[in-house]
Structure formats: C-alpha cells, structure tokens
Structure 1
Amino acid sequence: MIRYNAPRNLKLKSFNWELIILLWLVFFFNQADRQVFNVILPQIKISLQLTDAELGMIASVFIWAIGLCVPLSGYIGDVFSKKKVIIFSLLLWSVATFFTGFSAGLIHLVILRGIVGSSESFYAPAANALIGDTYKDKTGFAMAIHQTALYAGIIMSGLIGALIAERFGWSVAFYIFGGIGIVLSIVLVVRFKKDILPDTDSLVIKKKVTVFDGLKGLFQKKTAVLLTMAFACMIFVNVGYLTWAPTFLHEKYKLSLANAGFSSMFYHHVFAFLGVLAGGRFSDYLAKTNIGSRLKLQAFGLLLGSPFIYLLGSANELIWVYTGMGLFGFFRGIYDSNIYASLFLVTAPGVRASVSGAMIMFAFLIGAFAPWILGTIKPTLGLSSGLSALSVVYLLGSIFIFIALRFTLAKEIHVDAEAK
C-alpha cells in the first residue's frame, strides 16, 4: 500500500494561494484555447469551405486525442515532476494553438487540433494530483477554485475570440490566445519554485509506477468505474454543448457571431462558477461527518441539471433558453466541484495522476462522439432536438453515481481518505 508521510520540517501554508492562482491561469488558457475554435466555427466553415460533418469531425478528433493520450500523461504525472509536466503541456498546446491560425484546410486543422488536444491531456492529471497532495482537507475548495478557470476561460474565449474573429479574422484569434499561453509558460518557469510550491512528489513513498497502473487502479474499484461512467456522460453532454451551442444561437435566433458566442457561454458558465464554489465549500463541510456526501452532491447535480438541458434546446424564446443554460450550468458546477475529490476517495495518493488519466481517457473517448453525432443529425433533426436529447445522458450519469453510493463506496474507501 502507498502511504502519504509528510516530513516534520515541512511547513505548508494554511492555503497556498499563489499556487492555485498560477494553476488557475494555466487552466484558463487550457479551456480558452479549446473553446475559441468552437466559437468561430461559422467563420472557419465559410473561409475554408467545410461541411458541418467535417467541423464536427475536427472537434471529435480533438477530444479523441485527449482520450488516447491521457493514460500516458497520467503515468508521466506520477513518475516525473508535476511542475515540469504542467509547464511542458502549457507550452506545447500554446504553440500548436498559435500555428492553428495558419491552417489552410481540413487536414491542417485536424493535425493541429490533434496536437492541441494531445498536449492538453498532460495538464489535468498532473494538476489535479498536485492539488490533492497539497491541499489535503481543503481539497474540495481548492479544486472548486481551480474549476472556475474552466468557466472563465470558456466565457472569455466566447466573447474575446468572437470579437477578434469578426474584426480581424479567425486566424488572429489563434495567434493571440496561443501567444499569451507561450508567455505564461515562461512565467511558470520563473515562479514554480519550492518556496511557493513544496515538492509534494517527494512526500509520497511510492512503489514503482508503470503505465498500466492507472487502468489497474481504475478497474480494481467498482466505485471508480461507476464514477468514470458518470464522468463520460457529463463529458458527452459538455462537449456537444460547447461545440454546437454558439452555432445553435447564431442560426436559430440570428444572433451575431460575437453575441452567440458570448451568450451561449456566459449564462451557463457564470452559474456554473457559483455552483462549483458552493459545491466545493459545502462538500468539504459535509465530508467531515459523511464521506459519501461528495458523491451525493455529484449525483444530484446531474439529476437536477437534466431538465434544464431539455429546456434550453426545446424552448422557443431566448429568455427560456438562457434560463435553461444558466440552471444547467449551476447544477453542472455542483457536479464538477467533486470530480476528482470523489475519485481520490478510492485511489491511493501515489497513482492519482495515473488513475485520473485513465478516467479522463474513457470519458473523453466516449464524449468525443457528441460533436460528430450532433453535426451529423443537424441537417435532418436540427440542433434543437439534438441538444434537448442530451438531457437523457445527464440522467443516466446520475444513476451511475447513485449505484456507487448504494452498493460500492463504503467497501472501497482508501485508508488515507478515511483519515481525513
């Protein structure tokens, strides 16, 4: 068994704000560089003369690249310095994003978005394991703060990316977002020092980790498998929504590219921002007396979010569409606040990055089909029906977590999780 032992001379601050702020900035551009492509899809479609199915395929290739590479990235996050993995990941995806602006056709976009996706896959396992190791009994709150970067990155890319594309062309949006990420990677090299980031990799006495330990650690625990299935449902809905919601508002309600990009992301992610902070704080409090409370919040987040997904696709007035987007976002935030904190309840510290990577792999490989499926049915059934149908997938995800709560969690909680 892998034990966590903190040296006596290590003095961790009550809350390491500088670390979480730096990770927040990295995660911001992790998500912004993803979403800027989705926001300016209509302009890319016209400029490069691509079909809806081809655009959906590009988005799917991006997600498949993450899913296929993340087991390796999780393993690397366990055996190498998490600080260096994070910096390498940021630099590589930022360079690829910059050069995406030079794309001249389908093949170029497929290759470059594939590079962006594969390099971004190295960030989440290392970052989430680092947060789990560093913040201990404040894991839920720390991860909730970190998660808000996802929402902020998507909102700002929706607004700024669309404005840049409308005024200067879609290529310039990639140049700017990629360029800022390159600069940020240099900042991390300077600031990721032991005075603000204790070398938590040295605090864990490990057995030798192999590339297969993530899969082994995942499938040994039924709870982890069920959480992965629920996560896959969330990712399927999320990827489908992020890819096609801007186009949905642009085409159905005749909003400008900038307005559609901003509105489709703003209402959803502002409320998700509130939900994730509330969920993180509340789950840390409840977990002191009921360790299963993290999973309960996740299950109800998916269950209560489901009807609002249906509403945003089926409503015929923008006020109700935005209401659906907002409340879908709030309950999505409740779920998001404990994605990794729940997984770590049944995962040993020394393989958390690897097991996280395995979970992300399966979720993203499944979720990657959503953009392609919605793009394929768009000419016949329309995006309204496609988006509404995603509510069923959310409902299915909540069922998986309720099963874990009822039948598996109590038997599989890791000894270090019980000690918290």
Structure 2
Amino acid sequence: MNNSQSNTPAYSWALVAMLWVVAFLNYFDRNLITSMHDPVVADFKLNDSQFGLLTTMFLLSYGVLSPLGGYFADNYGRKKVICFSVAVWSAVTLWTGFVGSFHEMLVARVVMGLSEACYIPAALALITEYHHGRTRSLATGLHMSGLYVGLALGGLGGFIAEYWGWRHGFQLFGLIGVAYSVVLVIFLKDKPMPQSNSNTETKSSNLFQIFKELFAVRSFLVLMFYFCVLGIVNWLIYAWLPTFLKDHFHLGLGEAGISATGYMQIGSFAGILIGGLVADRWSKINERSRLYVVIIGFTIGAPFLFLMASTHLLLLAIAAMIVYGLARGFNDANLMPILCQVIDNRYIATGYGFLNFLSTIVGGLMVYAGGMLKDAQIDLSVIYQVSAVLMLLASLSLLLVKVQTQKLSSE
C-alpha cells in the first residue's frame, strides 16, 4: 500500500478497523485474569491482597512506561511502536498460560504492562492524525469500543476457567495476538505528513523539556487531576466488580464475570456512538462541545454508579451499570480530541502517555487497596459509593479547562 492509498478517507476508516482488533486484544488479554479469581487463588493459594497485586503490578509497570511509550511514538513513528507492543504483549499472554508459580505470574504481568503501555498513546495519536474535526470523536470512540468488547468478552474467562481450566484462554489468545502483529506489519501505515511540516516543525528530543511545556499549560494540570480520578474508578470497576457482583447478588463465577463486563460495555458502546456523533456535530458551532459531552455524561452517570453499589435488586443494578457505561462512552470518545485542543499536537502521544501514567499508577494502587479493604471486611459497595462521588467532582473540574481555538481552526 503506497502513501497515496494510505492518505484516502477509505484508509482512514480501515485504520480504525485494524486498530479496533488490537484494542480488543489489549483489554481482553489484560482482563482475562479478573474473572478467574477463584481458580487462580486456589491454584497458587493466594489471599485477596495477593490476587489484587497481580493487577496492581500490571498497572504500575503499564503506568511507568506510558510516557516513554508516547514519546517513542511521537519521535520514532506510530506504526513501529504499535507493532512492537502487540507482538510482545501477545507473547507474554501466551507465556502466562504456562506459568508455574505466583511469582512467575507477577513477572509476566509486569512485562505485559510494560509492553501494553506503548499501544494506546500511539494508536490514539495515529487516529487523530487521520481524522480531524468532523470525524475525530467518532473515530476515537469506535476504536475505544474495541476495548469495551475486550472487557466484555474478558468476562468469558470465568466460563473458560470453569470448563477448560484458567490457562487455556491465555494460550489461545496469546497465539492469536502474535499472528495479528504480522498483519499489522504488512498493512499499518504512518500518516503521510505534508512536506511543509518538516520545514516548519521540529520535534524535541528532550523528554524533560516536553514535560516542562506540558506542565506550563494549566488546562493540562486539570486533565491530570481528572485522569487520576478516572483511573481510580475505572480500575476498581475492572478489577473488583466481578467479585462484588458474585458476593452481593450471589451469582456464579461465570455469570458474575459476564455481568460485570457485559452490561456496562453495552452502555459504553452506545455512549461512544452517541457521544462521538454529538460532539463532532456540536463542535461546528461550539469549540467546548467535547468537554460538555463528557461533563454531561458523568453528571448523569456517576449517581447511577452510586445506585449500583447501593441496591440489592439485580435488575436495578443492571440498569445502573448500563447508564454508567453510557457516560463512560461519552468520555472515551472525547478524551483524546480534548487533549488535541489543549496541548501542542507534536507532543500529543507523549501527553496522553503521561496522563495514562498517572491514571494507571493511582488506579493500580487502589486495586491493591481494594483487596486490603476487602480483607479488612470493608464492603466493596462502600468503595464504589465513594468512587461515584469522586467521579462526579472530577467531571465538574473539566469546566476549568480552556481549549485553544486555533486547534479547531486548523482542523
């Protein structure tokens, strides 16, 4: 495929389709383990804190490398970083299916985190290069829907563990990912840049100078706070919701795993379509449209997260998960487009990588803390209620973000 072909509208959407598969594998592979709580704990004789540590170590390594992953994508090409990331984490997924001890699994989770950290900043930056104002939120949201499907089907880990053993899922999807990385090497293309850009723009090779420029933008600091809270809430949901539903509503392991991921992802998928389309169209007349869509989403959705944690009626909890998922879809369709309006586009992957770093480090620590609190007999419902209040406050803080008009006019 030559440069002219990769610069067509058709390829712009083909790119989203290719990366959708990667996004699916990204979240499916990392979240298989969360719905396999009981067999993994029994196999390695773990307590809940140790099981939580598996996700925490993944998130810590994922977070630490995220800024560097974004920096590599900004300076050495999105395609190289994406292909490398997919190949390595898929190989590690395969390895996880053969680990012989808890400590070996910890090492595998760390390596998986390091390799997956490079993907999201590079992929979202590549998508926003191919898609501008009229399609940016929708394209970003459609890509993020791959994460939702990965999360939703990751709940199948409970059924896989019940019928075939917990190792088989890691072995199968590890092989699939390794094969797909070869497909990406052949068909994925970096965005052909106009010749004039190379003469007028230079990319800094100094990571610390880039961070200095980012931290000088007040709106970026607001986004840092928002991402931290988002990371706390998201990862408490990813890691502990199957266990919460199993204990709170007396569900089986497989049913809890599917319920924890499936219903929320249904809402999220609707959210990225509605939130993406609304924000793209609204942006024609209001440069703050993407911010407002996110704020509206969580102003409605956060109280429903609180309701999910408070009710003892399963049907009401399901409805609450769907509504909260809708709000999360509004968010995921618009976060990267918002960042494109706040910071220099030359550093967009680095900036997103740093925000990812903050959210995953804080989120990872809270996953471990959630296990400790559960061991201390503190109900997960209380943890989710507090999370809902924090999410509402964080979304309202986005009112302080100032977008740069020239970013919109250039689109």
Instruction: Please state which band the TM-score falls in when normalised by the shorter chain.
Output: over 0.9
Aligned equivalent of 1:394: 391
- Equivalents in 2 of 1:316, 1:91: separation in Å? 43
Offset from partner CA, 1:68-102 (integer Å, 9 cap, x none) = 11111111011112111100000111111111112
By how many angstroms is 1:391 displaced?
0.6
Aligned equivalent of 2:60: 64
Aligned equivalent of 1:99: 95
Aligned equivalent of 1:4: none
By how many angstroms is 1:212 displaced?
2.4
Does residue 407 of structure 2 align to residue 419 of structure 1?
no
- Equivalents in 1 of 2:51, 2:360: separation in Å? 18
By how many angstroms is 1:214 displaced?
4.3
2:165 to 144, 169, 194: 169
Structure 1 residues 208 and 385 mapped into 2: Cα distance closer, same or farther (>3 Å)? closer
- Equivalents in 1 of 2:380, 2:232: separation in Å? 15
Percent of residue pairs identical: 30
Structure 1 residues 175 and 206 mapped into 2: Cα distance closer, same or farther (>3 Å)? same
2:382 to 379, 385, 391: 385
Aligned equivalent of 1:150: 147
Letter in 1 for 2:392: L
Q: How does 1:124-273 map to 2 (within 5 A)?
A: 124-137=120-133, 138-159=135-156, 161-193=157-189, 198-200=191-193, 205-273=201-269
Structure 1 residues 187 and 9 mapped into 2: Cα distance closer, same or farther (>3 Å)? closer
Mean Cα deviation higher: 331-340 or 103-112? 103-112
Letter in 2 for 1:396: L
Structure 1 residues 335 and 198 mapped into 2: Cα distance closer, same or farther (>3 Å)? closer
Aligned equivalent of 1:36: 32
Query: TM-score, normalised on structure 2?
Result: 0.93
Structure 1 residues 385 and 15 mapped into 2: Cα distance closer, same or farther (>3 Å)? same
- Equivalents in 2 of 1:381, 1:286: separation in Å? 44
Structure 1 residues 134 and 122 mapped into 2: Cα distance closer, same or farther (>3 Å)? same
The answer to whether the Cα contact below 8 Å between 1:53 and 1:372 also exists between their aligned partners in 2 is: yes
- Equivalents in 1 of 2:5, 2:268: separation in Å? 39
By how many angstroms is 1:353 displaced?
0.9
By how many angstroms is 1:317 displaced?
1.5
Aligned residues: 404
Structure 1 residues 55 and 414 mapped into 2: Cα distance closer, same or farther (>3 Å)? farther
Q: Which runs of 5+ in 1 are unaligned?
A: 1-6
Offset from partner CA, 1:162-183 (integer Å, 9 cap, x none) = 2221111111111112111111
The answer to whether the Cα contact below 8 Å between 1:97 and 1:175 also exists between their aligned partners in 2 is: yes
Does residue 364 of structure 2 align to residue 364 of structure 1?
no
- Equivalents in 2 of 1:9, 1:274: separation in Å? 31
- Equivalents in 2 of 1:254, 1:177: separation in Å? 30
By how many angstroms is 1:128 displaced?
0.9
The answer to whether the Cα contact below 8 Å between 1:306 and 1:391 also exists between their aligned partners in 2 is: yes
Secondary structure (helix, strand or coil) at the match of 1:103 reads coil
Query: TM-score, normalised on structure 1?
Result: 0.91
The answer to whether the Cα contact below 8 Å between 2:62 and 2:116 also exists between their aligned partners in 1 is: yes
Letter in 2 for 1:199: P
- Equivalents in 1 of 2:46, 2:391: separation in Å? 31
- Equivalents in 2 of 1:285, 1:398: separation in Å? 22
- RMSD over aligned CA atoms reads 2.0
Aligned equivalent of 2:327: 331
- Equivalents in 1 of 2:153, 2:236: separation in Å? 19
Structure 1's consecutive aligned runs of 4 or more residues displaced over 3 angstroms after TM superposition are 7-11, 197-205
- Equivalents in 2 of 1:11, 1:316: separation in Å? 53
Aligned equivalent of 1:47: 43
By how many angstroms is 1:215 displaced?
2.1
By how many angstroms is 1:365 displaced?
1.5
The answer to whether the Cα contact below 8 Å between 1:243 and 1:371 also exists between their aligned partners in 2 is: yes
- Equivalents in 1 of 2:345, 2:245: separation in Å? 44
Q: Which runs of 5+ in 2 are unaligned?
A: none
